[in-house]
Structures are given as C-alpha cells and as structure tokens.
C-alpha cells in the first residue's frame, strides 16, 4: 500500500474524531449541550468518533448524581466513548462508580497530550 494512501487514512481518521473535554460541574451543561451534541453527532454522523473526557468537577457531578449517571449510560449506549481522569475520580471518591457505569477511568495527562499533539479535535466545556 502506498505511504501517501496510509497517511490519508490516518489524517482522515484524526479529523473525524471529536474529543470533548468536560470540566464543569454545571448540571445544565450535560443535558443542554454535552449529551445532546455528542449523541446527535453519532446519530447524524457528524463525527465518526466522539470521546468525552471527564476531568475535574465533572467527575464529582457524575459520581454523585443519578440523573447524570443515566445520561452517561445513554451516551455509552449510543457509541460514545467516555474516559475520566483517575486522579480526579480518586480525589472525589467516585472511581468505582464511574467504572461501574462503563467509563474508562485512567490517568489522563498523557492521553490528552497525545490527542493534542496528534492534531485531534478538542472541544472544552
């Protein structure tokens, strides 16, 4: 296979992935923007891959709010991948809760840096 062709595929895959860095503990944000946009992105093929990164105060919100947890489960059911900062989850005591929801809880500093350096799209909320 031609190297140019391989490069095109990789660039195309990178450009068709959206990472949403979710930092806020504002509950309205998940229902009126984050979940709505990410789910519609998958349903309508706006983005091939949608990845939500729970970081900071959003980890506490997810861990302590059953309505938000239900929304997280729906996002996962729609094919959205969800990751969370392990240090944040540990600090808020919600690691087991997020893991049980199907969230990939891990240290996120390096993965986020890799996403940025590789040119992936990052939307910060």
Asked if residue 94 has pLDDT above 70, the reply is yes
pLDDT at residue 6 above 60? Answer: no
Name which of 7-11, 16-20, 31-35, 55-59 the model is least confident about. Answer: 7-11
Lowest model confidence (mean pLDDT) among 14-18, 54-58, 100-104, 106-110 = 14-18
Domains of the chain: 19-124 (3.40.1260.10)
User: What is the spatial distance between Cα 85 and Cα 89, in angstroms, rounded to a whole number?
Assistant: 6
Mean pLDDT score, 1-9: 51
> Please, what sign has the CA dihedral across residues 74, 66, 90, 21?
positive
Mean pLDDT for 104-109 is 98
Q: What is the pLDDT of residue 15?
A: 79
DSSP of 52-87: EEE-THHHHHHHH-HHHHHHHHHHHHTT-EEEEEHH
Contacting residues for 107 by C-beta, under 8 A, at least 6 apart = 85, 86, 87
Mean pLDDT of 62-83: 98
Say if residue 12's pLDDT is above 90. no
């Amino acid at each position: 296979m031609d190297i140019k062709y391989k490069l095109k595929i990789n660039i195309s895959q990178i450009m068709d992935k959206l990472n949403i860095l979710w930092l806020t503990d504002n509950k309205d944000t998940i229902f009126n923007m984050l979940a709505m946009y990410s789910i519609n992105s998958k349903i309508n093929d706006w983005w091939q891959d949608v990845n939500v990164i729970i970081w900071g105060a959003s980890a506490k919100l997810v861990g302590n709010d059953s309505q938000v947890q239900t929304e997280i489960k729906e996002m996962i059911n729609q094919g959205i991948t969800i990751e969370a900062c392990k240090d944040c989850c540990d600090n808020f005591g919600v690691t087991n809760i997020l893991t049980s929801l199907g969230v990939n809880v891990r240290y996120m500093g390096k993965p986020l840096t890799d996403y940025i350096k590789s040119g992936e799209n990052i939307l910060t909320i």
